[in-house]
Structure 1
Amino acid sequence: MCSLVCRARRVKCMENVFHDVHNLLNGFVGDEVKPVCGPCRKKRRPCGWQPCGITMREYRPNAVSNATEVEGADCEDVGGDGISRPDVSSPYHLQPPNFHHASPLITSPDALSDTLSATYPTVRTPLQQQLSYPEAALVHHYAQHLGRWLDCTDALRQFTLRIPVLVKQSPLLLHAVLSFGARHCGDAETADQAYHCCLSLLIERLGLSSATHDDALLCAIVILRVFEQLNVPVATGSDHEQHLAGCSAILRASQGQTIDPSAPTLREAAFWVYVRQCLYNASINQQPPNLDVNIRLHPAASTFQFADPLATLKGETAWANNMTWLCASVVQFCFGGGADAHLELSGRLHRWRELWNDVQQWSNDRPTTFDPIWAGPAGNDHIFPRALFAADWHVMAFGFFNFACLLLLTYKPAPRFAVRNLGGNLRETDHRILDHARAICGSCEGSPATVPALITLCHSVFIWGPLMTDAVERQGVLRLLTNFEDAHVWPTTWIANALREEWGMQAQIVHNS
């Protein structure tokens, strides 16, 4: 992807796209700002961009397309939204998408005319387009395995059920899904090409006045965020959060001062995915989450009636997201964010009691469906107390509840030493913290296919890991992390090595980065 000016001058400018995406996401949403590459910005010359295209090598589609070639270009333009396909034998490498009359996702009748005229001037109707088989294979892989990662607190399963349908209307969503699916399948080249093409489409959409109300845009950003989390170096876990800050700016503008915990639309569902992504980075780095915890949940979870199947699903979602939001508020308090950072000791203790009571109240009032269908102590066949749940959102709520409790126990306002010498002796509070940590580990053992629960384990271990002294339990945690990476390609080697270093064990040698 290169600006027309830079291409004519034979100057490479791809490495500057991330700077423009970051600026657009953080401060220029809805201002009709067009991207400017680094070289053109430095020389103060006009910068012309063309839509993302695809590199055509040996493969040529049999179907007739309206694509046109640009002389000297790096790629061919297929409806303005194609991606490059490398000449390799992998079944997951993509064929050119056939978007003759592709339309962006329309989120409201009022936005229909403006959105279509601004983005696709010749489009008459938002026709759904047929995917090629390799594309469909990746979308199917997403629907079967990856949508569940994003739907973990959404009983309506909107990212699993709706996104695979909407990709036929939205090239932006298609490329986000393809990048995620290809990366999970181990096809790094295809994943990177789809990712860069999605960035190009993202830049174009951010310039529209409807950006803050564009469900496809919001969903694509949180999907790209998961791709970035999967793409970190396995040795260091270094993560620059290229889209997380910008996602916050857009989502804050789109949600206002209230958010529906039942997530009735994709816009709300994307917001809750973003909240969980914030918790991951905040916990690992022990910093406040990039959230406005003053946003009010409305309607309250307690007001939902379980009168029919649809109402039950909405109520279950509301209760799960209620716990997610309580956990985010606890993380904000513990890591010194927002108004909590300026409270005196007495004020912080009062706020601590409020949060503790809120968390315990949720546990007392939650529907009985959130109880484990079976629970038992640690035994010969499992290291940690085992808990089995009926649904992903039950596992997630259980994990966030225990995470919130152990955080509050760890960061209860009180005089304390800056550095502790455990010397093998744990306080009563430490034992309570470890009980909650063991509950998280046990729920992950019982639900190994619930990836977000294992993600909670990954970031929570940075809080309680140093307290774990039992050698068998340590090996159990390391095994959970290793199995997680092996089964789901989530990078955990760096977390396991950080634990080994903390525990005085030899780190695992990593050969790739």
Structure 2
Amino acid sequence: MRVGKGCGRCRHRHIRCVVPEGASACTPCARLGRACHLDPRFQFKEVQHVYQKTQGTAARFDLVWDEDQTWVDVSKPVKFVLELADSPENERDSVFRPIEPAENAAQAVDICDPQCHFATVVPQRALQVPLVLKAVLALAARHDAIMNEKGHWEASAYHGECLELLIDALSLPEPTYDDNMLVAVVILRMYEELDNTQDGKFHLLGSNRLINMMSRSVPSGGLAEAVSWQFMRQAIYSSVVQYQPMQLDLENYRFSSVFQRQDDAAYANMAVFHCAHIIQVCRDWPTLPVNQTGWQEMSKTLESWYKARPNTWQPLRYQPPDVAADRPFPEVWMMSASAVVGMQYYHTACIFLTLCGPNSQSGNDFENARTRRMAERTIATHIANVIGLSLSNESVQNAYFMPCHLLQRFGYCIRNSMEKQGSLKFLAHMEKVIGWQTAWIKRELEQQWTELAEIDPPLGPPFWSIDPAVVRLFFGHAFGALA
């Protein structure tokens, strides 16, 4: 702490007087072993009267005590103590510290970025750009409120301030857009995703111009490229869970340096790209089936990527699921965090390839039913692999999200009772560890599994004995009379 006037000895010697926090002597005096006489930190000026305007006329008020003023004797010296100051909980509430939530978010975003732009560059931008600062504070405050079960008023305040700045920036011509705006939009999108029970997707779908600019920013490298890849992962999330079309121009991503590098992060981004491309092609299924040539080309490209993966992507340990060992999912230890996430996107791409395969509706009724059940079993296997990757590499927080998204979309495909229980335990563990709300997903899964079990039980009653409400739910009122 720099002292305003300095102690008497430092003033006499004309040297810089610095007092460390909590110290009773300045640094020069402490070094010389001499007594340090510090002036009071605050100087109060004696005021005897003040002037105040009343109806345009200045009036003087003398600050003097009334002759009848009552005085109370007190012991000297008097020391005032704030009783709540020693409570760590109150100290935490009085001074908001967004460091830990922001660091956790940066680790998740930088999972496929070897330069870790969100952890290194974004904090610097936050000190310089109010738009980025408000976005970071909003995300950190919301995560802190979820993890500590507190009110969201602080997060909402930062969020509102950030939106005002963003709206002003979006009203300007497109050439004025910069990577700071891209960073803010991506962070605000993460803010929305934390409330996955009622995600409005406002920042994902709010500006088509901004979305197009994001994909064009990929070849520019640096922070803009890192943000663009994060936005692609957010778009995949929206497509998987919320059936939103992929609006990014993926052709711009082909110019990324990712396709020229050989590191683990680059290879993981390739998996993200292949997954996004397959989802984009399959967006109109089953209304518009994917042609066989296009499907085979996507399948071949994905399989080539899988076969050419680096040696660092080979599992350090693999154990298949084992009922006796109470292990519903495979155990897969990976060497790098990028490999964990990359393999999860690979399995996600395989799920969508299976879903929109050219043979999904091409034969007679029996063949179509058989193909459908085989597809559901294949999808359930891929989900089990994705969950296994997450549970086997728990230090990779980003690996929690894709299993949750796939369970929300395709969890009904799981028929094995041990896998069902394991999935519910995983969702509960995820909410406890990272604060992602999964209780409602668990309820929906249990309801879906119950309804499917009533319709197609292993040794169940004949069709006409099923609850009429269930029949009408799946086949409409036209079949209600059968029950």
- Please confirm whether the aligned pair reaches a TM-score higher than 0.5, indicating the same fold: yes
- TM-score, length-scaled by structure 1: 0.63
| Residue pair 1:221, 1:247 contacting (<8 A) in 2 also | no
Closer/same/farther in 2, CA of residues 201 and 419 from structure 1, 3 Å limit: farther
Q: Distance in 1 between matches of 2:273 and 2:176?
A: 22
Find out whether 1:484 has 2:397 as its counterpart.
no
Query: 1:416 offset after TM fit, Å?
Result: 2.5
2:134 corresponds to which of 169, 172, 175: 175
1:164 corresponds to which of 103, 114, 123: 123
| Residue pair 2:102, 2:139 contacting (<8 A) in 1 also | no
1:468 equivalent in structure 2: 414
| Residue pair 1:287, 1:336 contacting (<8 A) in 2 also | no
Find out whether 1:504 has 2:464 as its counterpart.
no
2:241 equivalent in structure 1: 284
* Structure 1 residues 217-252: Cα deviation after superposition (integer angstroms, max 9, x where no partner): 1111111111111134xxxx2221111013553141
Equivalent position SS for 1:185: helix
Closer/same/farther in 2, CA of residues 221 and 301 from structure 1, 3 Å limit: closer
Query: 1:280 offset after TM fit, Å?
Result: 1.1
**What is the aligned-residue identity percentage?**
26
| Residue pair 1:248, 1:291 contacting (<8 A) in 2 also | no
| Residue pair 1:152, 1:393 contacting (<8 A) in 2 also | yes
2:309 corresponds to which of 366, 374, 377: 366
Q: Distance in 1 between matches of 2:175 and 2:397?
A: 30
| Residue pair 2:232, 2:248 contacting (<8 A) in 1 also | yes
1:396 corresponds to which of 330, 341, 366: 341
Equivalent position SS for 2:415: coil
| Residue pair 2:376, 2:413 contacting (<8 A) in 1 also | yes
**Which one-letter code corresponds to 2:170 in the other structure?**
L
Deviates more, 1:158-167 or 1:188-197: 158-167
Matches within 5 A, 1:167-316: 167-186=126-145, 187=150, 188-209=152-173, 213-232=177-196, 237-246=197-206, 248-256=208-216, 259-260=218-219, 264-299=221-256, 301=258, 303-304=260-261, 315-316=263-264
Find out whether 1:384 has 2:333 as its counterpart.
no
Q: Distance in 1 between matches of 2:405 and 2:309?
A: 25
| Residue pair 1:251, 1:271 contacting (<8 A) in 2 also | no
2:393 equivalent in structure 1: 447
1:144 equivalent in structure 2: 103
Equivalent position SS for 2:332: strand
| Residue pair 2:218, 2:224 contacting (<8 A) in 1 also | no
Q: Distance in 2 between matches of 1:274 and 1:465?
A: 25
| Residue pair 1:172, 1:201 contacting (<8 A) in 2 also | yes
Q: Unpaired runs of 5+ in structure 1? A: 1-61, 63-88, 95-133, 306-314, 507-513
| Residue pair 1:407, 1:463 contacting (<8 A) in 2 also | no
Question: Which structure: larger Rg?
Answer: 2
* Structure 1 residues 272-328: Cα deviation after superposition (integer angstroms, max 9, x where no partner): 1111111111111334223223334125645325xxxxxxxxx33322111101100
Query: 1:497 offset after TM fit, Å?
Result: 1.6
- TM-score, length-scaled by structure 2: 0.67
Q: Distance in 2 between matches of 1:432 and 1:275?
A: 25
Closer/same/farther in 2, CA of residues 406 and 212 from structure 1, 3 Å limit: farther
Q: Distance in 2 between matches of 1:185 and 1:211?
A: 36
Closer/same/farther in 2, CA of residues 421 and 453 from structure 1, 3 Å limit: farther
Query: 1:500 offset after TM fit, Å?
Result: 0.9
1:414 corresponds to which of 325, 348, 359: 359
Q: Which has the higher contact order (CA 8 A, sep 6+)?
A: 1
Find out whether 1:348 has 2:291 as its counterpart.
yes
* Structure 1 residues 450-507: Cα deviation after superposition (integer angstroms, max 9, x where no partner): 333221112222453222111111011111111111221112222222211110189x
**Which one-letter code corresponds to 2:273 in the other structure?**
W
**Which one-letter code corresponds to 1:316 in the other structure?**
D
Q: Distance in 1 between matches of 2:368 and 2:438?
A: 26
Closer/same/farther in 2, CA of residues 443 and 424 from structure 1, 3 Å limit: same
Q: Distance in 2 between matches of 1:378 and 1:469?
A: 15
Question: For the aligned residues, what is the CA RMSD?
Answer: 3.2
| Residue pair 2:101, 2:140 contacting (<8 A) in 1 also | yes
Q: Unpaired runs of 5+ in structure 2? A: 1-41, 43-88, 453-483
1:105 equivalent in structure 2: none
Query: 1:389 offset after TM fit, Å?
Result: 2.0
**Which one-letter code corresponds to 1:439 in the other structure?**
N
* Structure 1 residues 136-169: Cα deviation after superposition (integer angstroms, max 9, x where no partner): x21x213432211211221221112221222111
| Residue pair 2:101, 2:143 contacting (<8 A) in 1 also | no
Equivalent position SS for 1:164: helix
| Residue pair 1:213, 1:254 contacting (<8 A) in 2 also | no
| Residue pair 1:301, 1:322 contacting (<8 A) in 2 also | yes
Closer/same/farther in 2, CA of residues 336 and 419 from structure 1, 3 Å limit: farther
Q: Distance in 2 between matches of 1:203 and 1:92?
A: 32
Find out whether 1:332 has 2:280 as its counterpart.
yes
